Homo-oligomer: A and B are copies of this chain.
Amino acid sequence: MYTLEELSDFLGIAFSGKAGRRISGLASLSAAGPDQLAFLASRKYEEQLLSTTAGAVIVAPALADRCPVDHLIAEDPYLCFARVSGLFSKAPEPAPGIHPAATVDNAADVHSSASIAANAVIEAGVVIAADVVIGANVYIGHGCRIGEGSRIYPNAVLNHGVTVGKYCTIHSQAVLGADGFGFAPGPAGWEKIHQLGGVTLGDRVEIGACSTVDRGAIDDTVVEDGAIIDNLVQIAHNCRIGKNTAIAGCAGLAGSTIIGANCTLAGGVGVVGHVEICDNVHVTGMTMVTKSITEPGSYSSGTPMTATRDWKRNAVRFAQLDSIQRRLTRLEKQRDE
């Protein structure tokens, strides 16, 4: 429970209305009640503002006059909404200390302010910094280093030699440091190339649930500061993900692919191995990236959804496209003659 004035102070922005108004939670503009805070980030929802029953709304200066209720005035309402969201989180905050059911090797170095939950297994040589939270059933392999304030959710796995920076979040079932998929064809089948590198995450990296970041073949696989990765994403060995790049769910990157800074890969994007994507690239959902991208901008592939009946007809024609093009060229030539 915060007053409007407290929220104004916390965000460092002005407010208009009753300083002592008590806000107990967040809600959407259309659903918020008198003790809830909403926000308006897009002109698209301006109409909802006029009829809102929220206790207060975070609005841009240009809309402040039209706001029928108390409000906080923000240059970037969405960002301010993000910043207050943590105040209202009900996520449990585990107490420092090592749960008696955890298995921590004597040769691991665990900061006294860190929290290690039941059944976590921490191997020799691990260094866990201040304020780290290790969830239940987490495995931290030999020689891993977890930076200050990072949180590893239940059942995640960090195999040996993984380095996690400060204030990172690793969600449940994520796997850092499984073997890269490296095999050489031999006379008796595939021969495994032992993966000798590790995984290095910068600071403030987020890795989603059931996502995998494989260890490098020789050097490390790297995710740079501030990169955020959603659920069920595959980052293969020796990829490098640039600073503040965001990768949405179900995307997959093949080996040795380099993604620049401030990129956004939408859901289901696939990137082949050994290509490079420059900074500030956006790739739309389910696009197949088969070559390097050297210019910032938005890139896409795929075909639009239609009724299956129509799709079937058009899909058949796709397989005739080259012939269609050649027939067209022939007609043009005949016209020109």
Q: Which residues of A contact B (CB under 8 A)?
A: 25-28, 31, 76, 78-79, 81-83, 85-86, 88-92, 99, 101, 103, 117-119, 121, 123, 135-137, 139, 141-142, 153-155, 157, 159-161, 169, 171-173, 175, 178-179, 181-186, 188-196, 204, 206, 208-212, 214, 218-219, 225-226, 228, 230-232, 234, 236, 243-244, 246, 248-250, 252, 254, 266-268, 270, 272, 282-291, 297-322, 324-325, 327-328, 331-332, 334-335
Contacts and interface: CB of A to CB of B under 8 A. Distances in A.
Given A157-B153, A193-B82, A319 B310 contact: yes
A316 B314 CA distance: 11
Nearest to A139: B154
Number of copies: 3
Given A121-B119, A172-B175, A228-B190, A185 B248 contact: no
7 contacts: A232-B234, A267-B270, A285-B288, A287-B305, A298-B307, A302-B303, A331-B335
Contacts of A305: 283, 287-291, 299-301
Contacts of A310: 319, 322
Contacts of A117: 121
Nearest to A320: B325
A282 B27 CA distance: 33
A196 B85 CA distance: 8
Contacts of A92: 123, 141-142, 160
Contacts of A320: 314, 325
A146 B90 CA distance: 19
A318 B334 CA distance: 24
Query: Chain A interface secondary structure, helix, strand, loop or mixed?
Result: loop
A190 to B, nearest CB: 5
Which residue among A243, A282, A305 has the maximum number of chain B CB atoms within 10 Å of its CB? Answer: A305
A315 B302 contact: yes
Contacts of A175: 171-173, 209-210, 231
Given A79-B184, A181-B230, A196 B290 contact: no
Contacts of A317: 321-322, 324-325
